[in-house]
Chains A and B, each alone.
Chain A
């Protein structure tokens, strides 16, 4: 395992952004972490890179507990992981040239001198589909898609073992999204890094994830291989998410049953008792309001999903209701 998160908790004052989350990523694996805005998925990414300090729980990078390491002790480990940020406009230092931005990890870890930096930056820029002449440009001279390629080049130049991609395409035009996603997929196959891919858009992870974990209000409600999640979602929330994604085939689009969730996402300041999803779940019954369903359900024999209604021979069907 390159990454193992156990019972991670991160509270911002009263806000319980992440509230007991566990997940694992194997070497070379891409895990899609899916959730609505406010579900705490970005916070997980920041905790993994120790850009924010977890409240409780443990984070292991390649078997080493990094949860409580000091900033200084973390520094050498940062060679092995990096991040692609959501906003291509605020994630690049406006006072740096592209070469300075992309070359920064090399210089900080002293793996190249200034001359070597120039060559490696050129090579990396070509890998992400940018002309090496871009090196002398400043971020504000680039388009959103180009900037996100620069962010990708910076994250990958040290050939890290783990890359956290926090909604790397959601700020881009739809036409640019596909090309950046293709690029990430190609680079991942080439370089073999593991990836925690955070997104609110299931259609994005369908494209490149090996496994998917669905997050709701600071917890994972379902996780499993991509094919299983898409073919046979077990948790009512996952079913609702999948039913909301448009289908490209107009005939099937018309036929499919949509599950419309009532109410808004509850506040993470005061999450609902019992199952956190019960306020919006069309199938909720008494036990859901009082008892919290565990993620690993021993009664069933499929991938883990936290729902009381799952039994060995039955999975809930949110669409069948009403």
Chain B
């Protein structure tokens, strides 16, 4: 009975949020782009051919029915490489963000909640790392870890960590002053229970939004690292790797640069629009 009532309340809340979300055109466009991107990454590689298959009779071929996006210098189908590259981008974007959230949120929660002892130490460390620009930090880490997809995920994840800690901690500082936290103490709740059931859920909205900002940042980061040779290594297709190759043939085969560039732009735009929409919908102060 209880569980049903709670579940029913949750479901009603979700339906209401979705109604509010659906009415906005830009977030919906963002959602469509993100869904398209995920579909491309998951289903694309099953549909397209081998991204490493070379066709020496058609190198640097312009888009045609046989090669929808043209071919590169080795005669590899650009569309197949875009689809497989989407998988790399999605992994780099989502996994590194998950890593940053999984490590950063607990640190931010504890630092913000136990402000007196832990907070100064953690926050000075965060300040030091935030002093480095995100990409410089990521490039440095990637150089240390070594070039591979795993290295990219780790480097981008750790480069995002300080921002996640800082945002979480800021939210915790605001939430812990709310009367319902004092009431939880009066209820007889322990710290762990208060952090997990009171503080974390009430910090969740800005963190979800942060995730939708972090994912495209990581996608661009992966492309940048791969472009610099610190990321995914050829022949594995990645949008960044494709851009590196395309650079040499910019005047002969401009489409080689346009497709991966366009994909990076669209994926980034999609996540950003989705994040803006989520922020508006999840904020209870915004209109119904």
Binding site for B on A (CB under 8 A): 46, 49, 51, 71-72, 75-76, 78-79, 81-83, 85-87, 90-97, 99-100, 104-105, 108-109, 114-115, 117-118, 135-138, 140, 151, 154-155
Most buried by A among B9, B180, B191: B180
With A93-B198, A94-B284, A136-B8: A51-B185 Cβ-Cβ less than 8 Å: yes
Residues of A within 8 A of B284 (CB): 94, 140
| Given A90-B179, A104-B184, A104-B187, also A137-B2 (CB < 8 A) | no
Smallest Cβ distance from B137 to chain A, in angstroms? Answer: 34
Interface range on chain B (Cβ under 8 Å from partner): 20 to 34
Q: A75-B190, A95-B198, A136-B9 are in contact. List 8 more A-B contacts (CB 8 A).
A: A78-B186, A83-B183, A85-B183, A96-B197, A97-B5, A108-B188, A137-B9, A154-B187
Minimum distance in angstroms from B120 CB to a CB of chain A: 17
Give Cα distance in the complex from A81 to B6, angstroms.
28
User: With the chains together, A81 CA to B284 CA distance in Å?
Assistant: 32
Jot down 6 A-B pairs with beta carbons below 8 A, ordered by A: A75-B188, A78-B187, A94-B180, A95-B201, A99-B6, A135-B5
| Nearest residue, chain B, Cβ from A46 | B182
A135 vs B198: C-alpha distance when bound (angstroms): 18
Instruction: Evaluate contact between B2 and A114: CB separation under 8 angstroms.
Output: yes
In the assembled complex, the Cα of A90 lies from the Cα of B202 at a distance in Å of 12
Whether a CB of chain A sits under 8 angstroms from the CB of B66 is: no
CA–CA, A94 and B178, complex, Å: 11
Contacts A95-B202, A97-B5 known; A90 to B180 CB distance under 8 Å? yes
Per the bound structure, the CA–CA distance linking A90 and B174 in Å amounts to 12
Chain A, Cβ-Cβ closest to B1: A118
Q: What are the 9 A-B residue pairs with the smallest beta carbon separation, nearest first?
A: A136-B5, A91-B179, A108-B188, A95-B201, A78-B188, A93-B180, A90-B179, A105-B187, A85-B179
Contacts of A86 in B (CB 8 A): 179
Interface assignment of B13: CB less than 8 Å from any CB of chain A: yes
The count of A-to-B residue pairs whose CB atoms sit within 8 angstroms is: 90
Chain A nearest Cβ from B269, distance in angstroms: 31
Residues of B within 8 A of A100 (CB): 6
Interface of B is mostly: helix
* Minimal Cβ-Cβ distance residue in A for B2: A118
B24 on interface, CB distance cutoff 8 Å: no
Which of B180, B186, B189 is most buried by chain A, counting CB atoms within 10 A of its CB?
Answer: B186
Q: How far is the CB of B143 from chain A (nearest CB, A)?
A: 43
Query: Given the complex, which residues of B lie within 8 Å of A90, measured CB to CB?
Result: 178-180
Residues of B within 8 A of A140 (CB): 284
Q: Which residues of B contact A87 (CB under 8 A)?
A: 179
Q: When chains A and B are docked, how far (Å) is the Cα of A104 from the Cα of B190?
A: 12
Cβ B179 vs Cβ A108 within 8 A = no
Q: In the complex, A137 Cα to B13 Cα: how many Å?
A: 10
Q: Tell which of B2, B186, B198, B202 touches A49, judged by Cβ atoms closer than 8 Å.
A: B186
B188-A85 in contact (CB<8A): no
Is the pair B202, A99 in contact by a Cβ cutoff of 8 Å?
Answer: no
**Do A117 and B2 have beta carbons less than 8 Å apart?**
yes
B186-A83 in contact (CB<8A)? yes
Minimum CB–CB distance for B185 against chain A, Å: 6
Answer yes or no: B19 CB below 8 A from chain A CBs: no
A108 with B6, Cβ < 8 A, contacts A90-B180, A91-B179 known = no
Chain A positions within 8 Å of B9 at CB level: 97, 136-138
B180 & A82 in contact (Cβ 8 Å cutoff):
no
A117 to B6, CA, bound (A): 13
| Inter-subunit contact B182/A51 (CB<8 Å) | yes
Q: How far is the CA of A139 from the CA of B13 in the complex (A)?
A: 12
A115, closest chain B residue (CB): B2
Query: How far apart are the CA atoms of A108 and B190 in the complex, in Å?
Result: 8
Is B15's beta carbon under 8 Å from chain A? no
- What is the chain A residue whose CB lies nearest that of B8? A136
Q: Is the CB–CB distance between B202 and A93 below 8 Å?
A: yes
The reply to whether the CB of B14 lies closer than 8 angstroms to some CB of chain A is: no
Within the complex, the shortest CB–CB distance from A116 to chain B, in Å, comes to 10
Tell me which residues across on chain A come within 8 A of B201, comparing CB atoms.
93, 95
User: Could you tell me if A97 and B6 are in contact, using CB atoms closer than 8 angstroms?
Assistant: yes
A99 to B8, CA, bound (A): 13
- Interchain CA distance A71-B181 in the complex, whole Å: 14
Contacts of A76 in B (CB 8 A): 188
Report the bound CA distance from A78 to B186 in whole Å.
6
Contact A109 B188 (CB under 8 A): yes
Determine how close the nearest CB of chain B comes to the CB of A92; give it in whole angstroms: 6
Asked if B193 is at the interface of the complex by the 8 Å CB criterion, the answer is: yes
Residues of chain A within 8 A of B193, CB atoms compared: 108
Q: List chain B residues, Cβ under 8 A from A79.
A: 188
In-complex Cβ contact of B6 among A83, A94, A109, A136 (8 A): A136
Task: Mark contacts of B1-44 with chain A using CB atoms, 8 A cut-off: 1 yes-contact digit, 0 otherwise.
Answer: 11001101100010000000000000000000000000000000
Report the bound CA distance from A285 to B247 in whole Å. Answer: 90
What is the bound-complex CA distance between A283 and B185, given in angstroms?
45
CB distance from A30 to the nearest CB of B (A): 19
B2 & A99 in contact (Cβ 8 Å cutoff):
yes
Min distance, Cβ A213 to any Cβ of chain B, angstroms: 22
A residues less than 8 Å from B13 (CB atoms):
138
Q: Is the CB of A108 within 8 A of B2?
A: no
